[in-house]
């Protein structure tokens, strides 16, 4: 009989775990309670937090460089089909705050300035609250990377909104409209005129280029110059595109998908029993916990005094709880060496106003708390990956790499 693996959580870590466990020939079920951090990211795909990369490069006087990724990570990314990951250089993406920043990889729709040295980039004006083409162009013109690479920016009056209500619809809805060929051709015709007028050789637009997948390549072909999106904060259609790519990948590899919440994991002889909130329970050989962190809903902040009786809490424990009951250990702070994890805080929880913030190289508690793991292993028969693991960077590529490992070892 095939080894039965259940992956709990369908963010980047869970999908990567399902992919690698299926590759080993396991029977894989993925259970998910809904959207997590992976559906909220803007499409930049980092291995280490980019601010850290910029800080260390500056301190060493070096240009930030792409670190090589494993063959497995490239294979997973190719099968997912949502990201561009070059090994020879970093991507540089524009934020709507008017800055250029490095990224190890990117959603296909984000415009990559790493390959646009000397370009004159047009930003179409649009009456949308989240898109101020003039302010973004002014900020980007002043960016050190842009100046060093002679990239210039110009805002231009090019009609990119077709109907009045498009001034107000969510970015995701506008992105969805560009999934259709006719609407993409309409946009391309306007951009062709604009590019000619502005003598531009690239176009930066808001996060509007496709919901089911990136339309940036098709649009660039129609317009004749690279056209891509800027990076937004929360709620970019890059999250929708990840979810669409995830659906295609899970169907292609034959993983079973259950939309439900796991409430408990227990040992049942040599197997593990999973209790679902709505469905029948599952008996399996291995489990991957890919529950996400505080944003994804895998962890929540619950200091012991929240449950205190008259005066004192009943005991000392890490001030976080998992979204399910499982035989694993949670830790609050983790230094550079995970084996030095502090397992508890005071009776009244940590001084969260202080501990929550990063200090020097130490990440804040909210970005460090999670399941204590030895490699991917959290307990007998249970591996963990992604933001739910204590002391690991909270980035997309970390989640994918850890997911691949956890799926291999489950």
Ligand X SMILES: Cc1cc2nc3c(=O)[nH]c(=O)nc-3n(C[C@H](O)[C@H](O)[C@H](O)COP(=O)(O)OP(=O)(O)OC[C@H]3O[C@@H](n4cnc5c(N)ncnc54)[C@H](O)[C@@H]3O)c2cc1C
Cβ–Cβ under 8 Å, residues 227 and 216:
yes
E-only strand ranges, 192-319: 202-205, 227-229, 256-259, 262-268, 271-276, 282-284, 286-289, 299-301
Q: Examine residue 249 and tell whether it contacts ligand X (CB under 6 A).
A: no
Query: Looking at beta carbons only, is 245 or 290 nearer to ligand X?
Result: 290
Q: Give the one residue of 45, 66, 155, 174 binding ligand X; rule: CB under 6 A.
A: 45
CA distance 407 to 385: 9
Binding status of residue 189 toward ligand X by CB under 6 A: no
Contact 183, 97 (CB under 8 A): no
Pairing of β 271-276 and β 262-268? antiparallel
Q: Whole-angstrom Cα distance, residue 199 to residue 294? A: 46
Nearer to ligand X, 201 or 275 (CB): 275
Among 5, 6, 8, 328, binds ligand X (CB under 6 A): 8
- Our finding on whether 386 is near ligand X (CB under 6 A) is yes
- The yes or no reply on residue 82 touching ligand X (CB under 6 A) is no
Using CB under 6 A as the binding rule, whether residue 207 contacts ligand X is answered as: no
Nearer to ligand X, 39 or 227 (CB): 39
Based on CB atoms, which residue is closest to ligand X, 188 or 396? Answer: 396
Sequence-distant (≥ 6) Cβ neighbours of residue 391 within 8 angstroms: 331, 334, 335, 338, 341, 363, 368, 370
- Residue 164 three-state SS: helix
Q: Does 216 bind ligand X (CB under 6 A)?
A: no
Q: Rg of the chain's alpha carbons, rounded to an integer?
A: 23
Query: Cα separation of 246 and 269, whole Å?
Result: 34
Q: Nearer to ligand X by C-beta: 183 or 377? A: 377
Q: Which is nearer to ligand X, 8 or 203 (CB)?
A: 8
Contact call for residue 5 and ligand X (CB under 6 A):
no
Residue appearing with tokens 């399941």: 371
Site size toward ligand X (CB under 6 A) is 39
Binding span for ligand X by CB under 6 A among 22-30, 41-49, 126-134, 359-367: 41-49
> C-beta of 131: minimal distance to ligand X in Å?
18
**Nearer to ligand X by C-beta: 54 or 312?**
54
Q: Which of 91, 121, 262, 282 binds ligand X (CB under 6 A)?
A: 262
Using CB under 6 A as the binding rule, whether residue 297 contacts ligand X is answered as yes
Among 18, 90, 291, 410, binds ligand X (CB under 6 A): 291
Least Å distance, CB 401 to ligand X, is 11
Closest to 44 (Cα-Cα) out of 406, 395, 314, 310:
395
| 37 is a site residue for ligand X (CB under 6 A) | yes
According to the binding rule CB under 6 A, does residue 46 interact with ligand X?
A: yes
Q: Which of 6, 184, 287, 290 binds ligand X (CB under 6 A)?
A: 290
Give the integer Cα–Cα distance in Å for 256 and 238: 24
| H runs (alpha helix) in 81-180 | 133-141, 144-148, 171-177
| E strand or H helix at 330 | strand 330-331
Cβ atoms of residues 142 and 163 within 8 Å: no
- Going through 95-222 in order, the beta strands assigned E by DSSP cover 100-103, 105-107, 120-124, 152-156, 202-205
Q: Is 363 in the site for ligand X (CB under 6 A)?
A: no
Options 108-116, 118-126, 149-157, 285-293: segment touching ligand X (CB under 6 A): 285-293
Q: Is 93 in the site for ligand X (CB under 6 A)?
A: no
Interface of this chain with ligand X, residues 303 to 342, rule: CB under 6 A: 323-324
The answer to whether residue 211 forms part of the interface with ligand X (CB under 6 A) is: no
SS3 annotation, 139-161: HHHCCHHHHHCCCEEEEECCCCC
CB of 71 vs ligand X, minimal distance in Å: 20
Instruction: Rank residues 223 and 399 by Cβ distance to ligand X and give the closer one.
Output: 399
Contact residue for ligand X among 234, 252, 308, 312 (CB under 6 A) = 234
Per CB under 6 A, the list member of 40, 86, 222, 257 interacting with ligand X is: 40
Angle at 364 between CA 358 and CA 368, to 5 degrees: 135
| Residues found near ligand X in the complex (CB under 6 A) | 8-14, 31-38, 40-42, 44-46, 234, 261-262, 290-292, 295-298, 323-324, 386-387, 394-396, 399
């Amino acid at each position: 009989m095939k080894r039965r693996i259940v992956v709990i959580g369908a963010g980047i870590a869970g999908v990567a775990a399902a992919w690698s466990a299926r590759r080993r020939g396991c029977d894989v079920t993925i259970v998910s309670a809904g959207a997590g951090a992976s559906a909220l990211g803007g499409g930049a795909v980092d291995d280490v937090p980019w601010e850290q990369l910029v800080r260390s490069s500056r301190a060493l006087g070096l240009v930030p460089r792409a670190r090589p990724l494993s063959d497995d990570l490239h294979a997973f990314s190719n099968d997912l089909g949502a990201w561009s990951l070059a090994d020879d250089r970093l991507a540089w993406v524009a934020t709507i705050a008017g800055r250029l920043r490095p990224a190890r990889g990117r959603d296909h729709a984000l415009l990559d300035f790493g390959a646009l040295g000397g370009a004159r980039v047009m930003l179409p004006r649009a009456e949308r609250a989240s898109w101020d083409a003039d302010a973004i162009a002014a900020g980007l013109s002043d960016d050190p990377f842009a100046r060093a690479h002679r990239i210039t920016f110009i805002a231009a009056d090019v009609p990119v909104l077709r109907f009045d209500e498009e001034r107000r619809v969510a970015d995701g809805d506008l992105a969805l409209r560009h999934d259709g060929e006719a609407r993409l051709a309409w946009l391309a015709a306007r951009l062709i005129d604009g590019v000619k007028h502005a003598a531009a050789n690239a176009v930066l637009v808001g996060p509007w280029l496709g919901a089911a997948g990136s339309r940036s390549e098709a649009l660039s072909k129609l317009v004749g110059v690279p056209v891509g999106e800027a990076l937004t904060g929360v709620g970019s259609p890059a999250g929708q595109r990840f979810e669409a790519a995830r659906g295609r990948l899970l169907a292609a590899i034959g993983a079973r998908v259950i939309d439900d919440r796991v409430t408990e994991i227990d040992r049942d002889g040599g197997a593990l029993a999973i209790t679902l909130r709505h469905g029948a329970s599952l008996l399996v050989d291995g489990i991957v916990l890919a529950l996400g962190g505080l944003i994804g809903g895998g962890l929540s902040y619950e200091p012991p005094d929240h449950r205190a009786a008259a005066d004192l809490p009943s005991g000392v424990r890490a001030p976080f709880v998992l979204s399910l009951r499982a035989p694993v250990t949670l830790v609050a702070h983790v230094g550079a060496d995970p084996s030095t994890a502090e397992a508890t805080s005071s009776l009244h929880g940590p001084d969260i106003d202080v501990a929550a913030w990063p200090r020097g190289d130490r990440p804040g508690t909210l970005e460090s708390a999670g399941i204590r793991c030895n490699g991917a292993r959290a307990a007998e028969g249970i591996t963990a990956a992604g933001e739910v693991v204590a002391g690991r960077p909270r980035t997309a590529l970390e989640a994918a790499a850890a997911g691949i490992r956890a799926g291999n070892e489950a």
